Amino acid sequence: MQRNHNIQVFRHERVDFPQIFQQGNGVRLDGPIASHTMITTSVRGHLASIDFPEAYGWSKCDPSVLLTPQVPLETQYKEDMQPIFRNLQQLAREVQACILWLDCDREGEAIGDEVRTVLLQVHPQMPIYRARFSTVLPQEIQSALRSLGRLNEYHVKAVQARMELDLRVGAAFTRFQTKRLQRQFVLPTEGVVSYGPCQFPTLGFVVERWARIQTFVPEDFWFLELTLTADEANARPIIFQWKRTRLYDQLTTLILYEACLDAQEAIVVSANGRPKHKWRPVPLATVELQKRASRFLQISSEQLMTAAEELYQQGYISYPRTETERFRPEFQHRPLLEQLATIPGEMGESAQRLLQPGHFQNPRAGPNDDQAHPPITPCKAVDPASIGNPQQRRVYELVVKHYLACCSRDAVGRETQLVVRMGEEEFQATGLMVLERNWLDAYRPWERWSTGQGELPSLPVGSRIRPTSLTMKEGRTTPPSPLSEVELISLMDRHGIGTDATIAQHIATIQDREYAIKDGNLKFSPTQLGIALVEGYNSMGYQLNKPDLRRETEAECNLIAAGQKTAEEVVLRLLEKMQQCYRTAVQEAHLLDRAVARHYQSLGETSTVVQQQFTLCGACRHPMALKHSIQGRVTRKMLHCTTCSQTWALPRGIPQPKRDAQNQPFICPLCQYQVVQITTGDGYTGSGYSVCPHCFSNPPPGHAPDFRCLNCTNTECSLSLGTPDVTVFHCPFCASQGNPTQSVTLRKTSRGYVVSCTHFQRGDRCPYSIWLPKECEQVTVLDVTSNENADGLCATCSSPGHLVLKMKFTWKRGSVPPHLGSFVTTCILCDTSFRREMEISLPQPNQVLARAPNNYRAASTGRGRGTQRGRGGGRGGWTHANMMNGRGGRGTPRNRSGDGR
């Protein structure tokens, strides 16, 4: 089979299209069997990827929005996959059917689904079948061709659910911590400070071991050591260990030592001997292969998997990504052993020995079986010296030796144990004599079995022996060593972090992100950034670096794969949980700042002063300096308080201190910081706005970062123009552009109340807005959670997943006819008589697109009739039904006040 997008043609005489599925499943067909030409091509891992639409870019939405399942995802085929994509489309025009020969695990099923999608775009009626195999040996390929099936849709859904969860959670937290930390601290990288649902628990294990080392307090201890020599010719000294092991009190140890000296002789109180077996290993699965390669070969898990994949593709070993630790009863060991017996050297000799009577034993059955692949075994006998790549050669040797050990008998030995007493203290010695090495010979030089003392002499109980030596020794406890790769793999496997196929990738990721480093002994230490992130999230209470959340995700995906849950219900439930985690992270973000500040300087400490005593700090009431820093092509402005050692980022534009009518500093009533006025310049082209430096980065609860004063709902502040951020209904303009989650909310501006879309970003703002009558003294959205407003939901306009809330209009005294009373509660979408009387018009997409930006709305604040004075782009043909179905276009006209979202 040719790799990449080259093809090879061969003929198979036993396959008949289009009856291949029936043939493969044992259906007898009458008539001659036709021959067919098969075209073999390949893909390279996942053909497609998922991502958010452009409307949800880094600067275009609050990261929390990404955690809502209503935000759409796009399937993308990246540039490096385009040749493969085009190759598949071309072949789809030429063939009658397709057989998917992909890896037989969940990822293989998901990749098969991606291939199927591409093929059906060109050839919608194409029959597509699934071949299941674990090696590329001819007999197994033939067997797979005779038993074709279909893709396992449950496995496909499980992978898709996991990918969606990883994308949404990773993107939301990555954007949150990157934006927050990069604008405050001088970090070692100017790029993304990424979060991953698997990489953070992996990092957590490394940091946890580092913390144990850092907090370790050494202690002195004392112990006794006894050496005896049997009264025999050529007897060697035997070292006995104190049964108390050690004591942490020197005086107590000294008293016991002197009591032993007074006894002068040791009395044998027990002498036991018993057979001992060292079990041969169970068949090899991926995780165990990674651990053994790290321990025996000093090869990292990533290097191991690369070498194993190459050996698999060359037909030397079976599929290297498996959880199975047991062979099927029908597995034929003898033919494989006969092949391996031809290998020169000790591996061939071990295989020859197993072919002799009384040496072979069926391998043990391990606890795991993924029902997809057999254990990792050699498939072809080759001289290791003929494998050019050194790592591949050593991995092949490891796989062969492990298989030979599995087929061998257990090692047999005899363990002897002596216990002697001096005074009241007992000492113990253990010895081992290996009688039959068996599988240990096949696994040389990596596996050993010894206590270091060999077989102990036979001493009768009650006999007395004078010690060769009795010493009191001193020691000191030592901290644990840094986490080794073997230990890290074991922890990840035990806690369900990643799979056998992805563990190596996650370990590589924490190194690529510069969260941890690995030394030459394959031991891990966290970097300052890794420590700071884990400490920060730990201090918040939600321990995102702990394995619990990821373990739950993996368990839920297993239920999807088993058909016990749907992907939709799993994704919805887990996203709700992560939304709560995200809210907590935002509310407690100052704790993350504090943790990072212990390891890195703030931008304010290393940046250049532009103006001293610029504004007042809300914490200490001392002046803060205006500073700026240049990182690459990016210039950042900030306020820095030297007293508090705090730095507050500012948005683009020219900052000016805000003062009130009495020329006093304008103080934010929420946090006591002096407000800053942002004016045109330095990349900002708007009409200006006010920000509190503290609230800009630490918004009030319920609001997103980059918070401006006009969004504030505080009634004590004259700059506050916002209303509580309650969704009245979903925006129809955004829905028509594939963005169904954007909300239409009520807000108050200097020119009155307006119901408008929240999608307002630089260069891409939604024009949907409905200006409300100037006769309104106050407008509120009814809280449907309150018993008093149980009817606040519009039953006519609402539908599942798309609620429409009523609003309460309170009139200025004497501004409306008496029949309207002092207030009206209604739904502006379906109450046409109210809209007609108060001259409220719903926006029309055709009008929005037709108007030039400068003519969309007159600057006048008065109401009137006719086409020149209608609200929201005029009256007319935008009906409620069309709006809720999301039809219509979008434009970029200005709204009435020029400051709409």
CATH 3.40.50.140 holds for 8-159: yes
Domain with CATH 2.70.20.10 in the chain: 217-263+415-428+464-478
Residue 502 exposed, middle or buried by CB count within 10 Å (0-12, 13-18, 19+): middle
Please, which pLDDT band fits residue 873 given cuts at 50, 70 and 90? Answer: very low
Of 277, 273, 241, give the one whose Cα is nearest residue 455: 273
Of 539, 534, 530, 540, give the one whose Cα is nearest residue 580: 540
Greater model confidence, 112 or 846: 112
Domain with CATH 1.10.460.10 in the chain: 160-215+481-596
What pTM did the predictor assign?
Answer: 0.72
User: Would you say how long the chain is, in residues?
Assistant: 901
- The stretch 695-723 carries a mean pLDDT of 77
Q: Report pLDDT for 631.
A: 67
Q: Report pLDDT for 510.
A: 94
Domain with CATH 1.10.290.10 in the chain: 286-411
- The stretch 38-59 carries a mean pLDDT of 87
State the Cα–Cα distance between residues 116 and 1, nearest whole angstrom.
Answer: 20
Which residues sit opposite 128 in a β-bridge?
98
Q: Report pLDDT for 221.
A: 97
pLDDT score of 858 more than 80: no
Domain with CATH 3.40.50.140 in the chain: 8-159
pLDDT score of 632 more than 70: no
The answer to whether residues 321 and 360 touch, using CB atoms and an 8 Å cutoff, is: no
Query: How large is the C-alpha radius of gyration of the chain?
Result: 37
**Catalytic center residues:** 319
CATH 2.70.20.10 holds for 217-263+415-428+464-478: yes
Helical spans, DSSP H, in 183-228: 199-214
CATH fold of 160-215+481-596:
Topoisomerase I; domain 2 (1.10.460)
pLDDT in tens, 270-283: 999 899 999 999 99
CATH fold of 286-411:
Topoisomerase I; domain 4 (1.10.290)
State the Cα–Cα distance between residues 185 and 880, nearest whole angstrom.
Answer: 49
Please, which pLDDT band fits residue 841 given cuts at 50, 70 and 90? Answer: confident
Name the residue type at position 668.
C
State the Cα–Cα distance between residues 396 and 391, nearest whole angstrom.
Answer: 9
In whole numbers, what is the pLDDT of the chain averaged over residues? 83
pLDDT score of 848 more than 80: no
